[in-house]
Amino acid sequence: MKRIKLLPAACFATLLALPLMAAEKPNTLTGEEKAAGWQLLFNGKDLTGWRAFKTPEGGGTIGEGWTVENGLLWKRAGVKGGDIITGQQFDDFELAWEWRIDPGGNNGVKYLVTEARPEAPGHEYQMLDDTFEKWVKKPAKDHTAAFYQVLPPVKDKGYKPAGEWNQSRILVKGNHVEHWLNGKKALEYELGGEPLKAAIAESKFKKYPDFGQKIKGHIMLTDHIDAVWLRNIRIRELPK
């Protein structure tokens, strides 16, 4: 198999349209993926590399609602786990993961997360059972692959319903951000740009002046009351 080479910045969006190479086992990397700079954020065995939000490195306890079972990271319904974040912080990066949600479920992955802003710590890639009666009437900016409550995804985003596995990606390169779902680009925006500022001004995040600006931050897995399963959580830092 041909070795993957790092591409110029202009080519990263094209690369996002390609599927990740499938390793022989979940939560592992192929030699080609390692050569391309990918690293696992979840090893399939435990929560090494993660910690509870707003706790010192190595301190605090991750709630029992986060369970590792059969190579899956399971947020158990109705069991408190608390929001968890990576020990590492990231600037320019490509993040990829797979997820499956219960019928009626709601969850999300946040990025550009800071502990200095606890009520709006980061931008959220929404994960939702879009077809559930409770959520159908919600605006598109609340649906899967949206920048939650700020920007909606495209209509034809390749969403797979509750109970099926979805593949999601986030690209942050400079001020440019993209959300991808199952190989399709669902959303793109510019950090600090006027369209984003206008959208934030109409959202619940308007009281945070620095929300929507580029920062180096953690990745967060959020704790909602609904069950969600995650696997193959991986990231690679991008060159400046």
pLDDT tens digits for range 216-231? 999 999 998 899 999 9
Q: Does the structure show a pLDDT above 50 at 17?
A: no
Query: Is residue 44 a contact partner of residue 231, using CB atoms and an 8 Å limit?
Result: yes
Q: Total domain count for the chain?
A: 1
- Give the neighbor-by-neighbor strand order of the sheet with 123-128: 50-52, 84-86, 218-221, 106-113, 123-128
* Span 179-193, average pLDDT: 98
The residue among 224, 108, 86 whose CA lies nearest residue 170 is 108
pLDDT, position 59: 66
pLDDT digits (tens, 9 = 90+) for 119-129: 899 999 999 99
Mean pLDDT of 157-183: 97
Mean pLDDT for the stretch of residues 145-156: 98
- The helix, strand and coil proportions of the chain, stated in percent and rounded to the nearest 5, come to 10, 30, 55
Q: N- to C-terminal Cα distance for the chain?
A: 28
Q: What share of the chain has pLDDT > 90, as a percent?
A: 84
pLDDT at 160 over 70: yes
**DSSP code of 122?**
S
For 33-46, what is each residue's pLDDT tens digit?
A: 999 999 999 999 99
Query: What does the pLDDT read at residue 11?
Result: 43
Q: What is the pLDDT of residue 69?
A: 96
Q: Which residues contact 103 (CB under 8 A, 6 or more apart)?
A: 129, 132, 162, 163
Q: Per the domain annotation, does 222 fall within a domain? A: yes
Average of per-residue pLDDT values in the chain? 90
Q: Is the pLDDT of residue 9 over 80?
A: no
Average pLDDT for 180-202: 98
Its domain, for residue 148, covers: 28-237
C-alpha 234/C-alpha 136 separation (Å) is 30
User: 15 in a domain, yes or no?
Assistant: no
Residue at 34 is within a domain: yes
**Residue 55, pLDDT score:** 85
Residue 4 pLDDT: 37
Q: Is residue 2 a part of any domain in this protein? A: no
What would the pLDDT profile of 43-72 be if each residue is shown by its tens digit? 999 999 999 998 876 667 899 999 999 999
The reply to whether 120 falls in a domain is: yes
CATH classification at residue 63: 2.60.120.560
Report if residue 3 sits inside a domain: no
Residue 1 domain flag: no
Q: Is residue 62 part of a domain?
A: yes
Does 156 score more than 80 pLDDT?
yes
